[in-house]
Amino acid sequence: MPYRHTVGPRTHVFGDLATLMAKATPIRSGDCLAGIAAGSAEETMAARWCLAEVPLKEILARPLIAYEDDDVTRLILDDHDDAAFAEIAHLTVGDFREFLLTASSATLARIAPGVTPEIAAAVCKIMRNQDLILVARKCRVVTRFRNTIGLPGTLAVRLQPNHPTDDPAGVTASILDGLSFGCGDAVIGINPVSDSLQTMAGLLRLFDGIIARLAIPTQACVLTHVTTTLDAMNRGLPVDLVFQSIAGTQRANASFGVTLPILKEAQEAALALKRGTLGDNVMYFETGQGSALSADAHHGIDQQTLEARAYAVARRYRPLLVNTVVGFIGPEYLYDGKEIIRAGLEDHFCGKLMGVPLGVDVCYTNHAEADQDDMDTLLTLLGAAGCTYVMGIPGADDVMLNYQSTSFHDQLYIREVLGLKRAPEFAEWLARIGLTDAAGTLLPGGAAARLLTAAPDLAA
Amino acid sequence: MSGPDDDLWRRLAALTPARIGLGRAGAGLPTREVLKFGLAHAQARDAVHTPMDAAAVAAAIEELGLSTVAVTSAAEDRATYLRRPDRGRRLSPESRKALDAAAEAPVDLALVVADGLSARAVHEGAAAMLAAFKPHADKAGWRLAPVVVATQARVALGDEAGQALKARAVAVLIGERPGLSSPDSLGLYVTFDPRPGRSDAERNCISNVRPAGLSHDLAAFKLGWLLTQAFARGLTGVGLKDESDQLIEAAETPESLAPPV
């Protein structure tokens, strides 16, 4: 059934729900590349008027990809919580926006299992940036492994000590620098150059040793393919978190070499290790708008909606951490600072609304029309929106992946401006070893020498 | 700030190219570090946006005794190139005609020099890279097509160029996406039996070719090795693993890898 909206003498017609949602999306290069973006500014607004009138029940009843064709659609519908949905079942997309603006944190937590990714994406498209910030701030998603992530008033940081050759001494040097800035409560997580099990084993033992020697209440992760991590667990290596990149369609996940049964198997294997002391959230997922188009697996659906579908996949496995790598994929998907900022806020909002602990890799590549000023803007907006965590990379310059993200310094900035605290157990540890005062402010001098007890071979 | 940690951080900083031990001014970076970062980003941006001087690149290649032919992709300018990767992978209609006209008898290898995302990498490295590779091609006796100098081009443009030139394989020398500390890096992509529609899984890649990375001599050796294997086995890509490192490690000196000129 086509959707129609009349503006003066013109009637805009949208062939189906996927088309309507694509045309209603704030313009971005990836949807233009896919040939599904609105052709004019008026068409975008006509689509939003039309989308605002669509009942949430209708979105639920019209899967964008057929149930029998796609296991992500099956996951979305099979996992759907009808009781949670009942509270919002009578609303249109436009009504839902107003409901969200007035809802309490408790209400938002109650309805989260009833919010499908398509519903989250639809309402997102008619919300301004300030709406996305205001509502996301009210959504609290708390997860635990060796500390507590996502409490109100906190922002965690992934310490990302990447190195162009995975050299253990070089990686350790970056970890010590990050710890000295009070980073690493979300995870100490490295993207290795090599995906060999041998490299992974060395890094896992290195991280496990540092965390044990300094008794840091945090967790480690080597971000390799889930099948490599499964292999590592089967060989008895110290795996805290299982990492995997995921996307919003079965075919896109297949292009990553991942299936839902593999994710389940890995989650069960990690749970069986019982390495979490405070909780059992053992999964870490990364996502990003454009990944399905890049894999030629987008089914004519806009990239923001597909991104929200990836969060449905994440939600099933109760992750500790999920982050969108918002500016990494390149300008053919998000062209400039404006598109990256909007997408970062959309992704964070949709994840939180669905009950997923969303962090953001606030980042860009050198061929995007963006710079560190845009990252400052997005980081500040995400801090206001209650973002779960961001990246901490030495000097914001990832020397392995060749992109720019947020730095150890940047998290100090956002804490000072917005008064955001670290995960409480990690904050207590920093105070106990004398790196910070009781309020979490870094104390001058001597930090490195104390941390070097974690790496005796570097002390000489 | 300075303090008792300074020596220690200098020592730790020597262990990694990552920007550690920068010091801080409150929550911010010291001024010198803000400016160093800004300069590195400016150089990376310039590498992306500086137009390739195709005539100068062609002249430098012709000095090696190789003929050239200039082409453009179907992306008419940089803004289009960045938004429409599909257009950067295709020849413009005029360039397709020019290559069809330049094609003679079938050849073994088509070489394509492409601006990619860093014209600087091409300006500073392409001719020197070809100079290092030419002795390998001469020794193997490979028949070469005219070297294609391609503007606003992505890797896959080599597929159409190689097909038009009736080449058994194509090697694309292309400016890589610049990192903050590597604005001058060339990538080399080898594809056997080039034709439009080849996937990235059907190519072999040698990356990070630049003064501070992989040297031209080593890259030329690897390229020669990959092409020899590709011709012998009739394929490139995931089915052809780059094992040239074992030969390089076994060699006593890098010079001994070079074939006699």
Contact across the interface for B41 and A372, Cβ inside 8 Å:
yes
What integer is the mean pLDDT of B81-107?
Answer: 95
Q: What pLDDT, on the 0 to 100 scale, is given for residue A308?
A: 98
Residue of B8, B85, B178 with shortest CB distance to A448: B8
Which residue out of B7, B19, B120 would a mutagenesis test of the A interface target, given it has the greatest number of A Cβ atoms within 10 Å?
Answer: B19
Q: With 60 as the cut, is the pLDDT of residue A4 above it?
A: yes
Residue pLDDT, tens place only, B176-229: 999 898 889 999 999 999 999 998 889 999 988 998 889 999 999 999 999 999
* Residue A35 in contact with partner chain B when CB distance is under 8 A: no
Q: What pLDDT, on the 0 to 100 scale, is given for residue A448?
A: 67
- Of residues A303, A362, A312, A314, the one with CA closest to residue A337: A362
Across-strand partners of A397?
Answer: A404
* Residue A254 in contact with partner chain B when CB distance is under 8 A: no
Residue pLDDT, tens place only, A301-340: 999 999 999 999 999 999 999 999 999 999 999 999 999 9
Backbone φ and ψ of B81, nearest 5°: -55, -45
Chain A residues near residue B33 by CB distance under 8 angstroms:
395
Task: Give the CA dihedral A389, A394, A399, A401, nearest 10 degrees.
Answer: 0
Residue of B4, B17, B178 with shortest CB distance to A446: B4
Tell me the angle at which helices A71-78 and A303-316 cross, rounded to the nearest 10 degrees: 60
Task: Give the CA dihedral A58, A115, A254, A63, nearest 10 degrees.
Answer: -10
In three state form, how does the secondary structure of chain A look? Answer: CCEEEEECCEEEEECCHHHHHHHHCCCCHHHHHCCCCCCCHHHHHHHHHHHHCCEHHHHHHCCCCCHHHCHHHHHHHHCCCHHHHHCCCCCEHHHHHHHHHHCCHHHHHHHHHHCCHHHHHHHHHCCCHHHHHHHHHHCCCCEECCCEECCCCECEEEECCCCCCCCHHHHHHHHHHHHHCCCCCCEEEECCCCCCHHHHHHHHHHHHHHHHHHCCCCCEEECCCHHHHHHHHHCCCCCCCEEEECCCCHHHHHHCCCCHHHHHHHHHHHHHHCCCCCCCCCEEEEECCCHHHHCCCCCCCCHHHHHHHHHHHHHHCCCCEEEEECCCCCCCCCCEHHHHHHHHHHHHHHHHHCCCCEEEECCECCCCECCHHHHHHHHHHHHHCCCCEEEEEHHHEECCCCEECCEHHHHHHHHHHHCCECCHHHHHHHHHCCCECCCCCECCCCHHHHHHHHCHHHCC
CA A147 to chain centre: 19
- For B30, the token pair is 């010291």
Residue identified by tokens 């409150």 is B26
Chain B residues near residue A449 by CB distance under 8 angstroms:
4-5, 8
Q: With 80 as the cut, is the pLDDT of residue B133 above it?
A: yes
**pLDDT interval class at B96 (50, 70, 90):** very high
Task: Give the CA dihedral A73, A76, A79, A84, nearest 10 degrees.
Answer: -150
Residue pLDDT, tens place only, A134-174: 999 999 999 999 999 999 999 999 999 999 889 999 999 99
What percentage of chain B reaches a pLDDT higher than 90? 80
Q: What pLDDT, on the 0 to 100 scale, is given for residue B261?
A: 42
Residue pLDDT, tens place only, A22-34: 999 999 999 999 9
Residue pLDDT, tens place only, A253-304: 999 999 999 999 999 999 999 999 999 999 999 999 999 998 899 999 999 9
Q: Cα–Cα distances in Å, from A425 out to A127, A146, A147, A238, A388?
A: 36, 8, 6, 21, 16
Residue pLDDT, tens place only, B30-61: 999 999 999 999 999 999 999 999 999 999 99
Tell me the angle at which helices A41-52 and A117-125 cross, rounded to the nearest 10 degrees: 130
Residue of A163, A332, A395 with shortest CB distance to B19: A395
Chain B residues near residue A447 by CB distance under 8 angstroms:
5
DSSP string over B93-161: HHHHHHHHHH--S-EEEEEEEE-TT-HHHHHHHHHHHHHHHHHHHHHHT--BPPEEEEES--TTHHHHH
Query: Nearest C-alpha of chain B: how many angstroms from A154?
Result: 17
Chain A residues near residue B1 by CB distance under 8 angstroms:
444
Q: With 60 as the cut, is the pLDDT of residue B131 above it?
A: yes
Residue pLDDT, tens place only, A378-420: 999 999 999 999 999 999 999 989 899 999 999 999 999 999 9
* Residue A395 in contact with partner chain B when CB distance is under 8 A: yes
Q: Which amino acid is residue A441, in one-letter code?
A: T
Q: What pLDDT, on the 0 to 100 scale, is given for residue B2?
A: 46
pTM of the full structure: 0.92
Q: With 60 as the cut, is the pLDDT of residue A421 above it?
A: yes
Instruction: Round the average pLDDT of chain B to a whole number and report it.
Output: 92
Contact across the interface for A176 and B19, Cβ inside 8 Å:
no
Residue of A170, A396, A404 with shortest CB distance to B15: A170
Q: With 70 as the cut, is the pLDDT of residue B3 above it?
A: no
Q: With 70 as the cut, is the pLDDT of residue B1 above it?
A: no
Q: What pLDDT, on the 0 to 100 scale, is given for residue B137?
A: 97
CA A38 to chain centre: 27
Q: With 90 as the cut, is the pLDDT of residue A98 above it?
A: yes
H/E element, B167? strand B167-175
ipTM, two decimals, is 0.94
- A339-376 in b/e burial notation, b at 16+ Cβ within 10 A? bbbbbbbbbbbbbbbbbbbbbbbbbbbbbbbbbbebbe
Instruction: Round the average pLDDT of chain A to a whole number and report it.
Output: 96
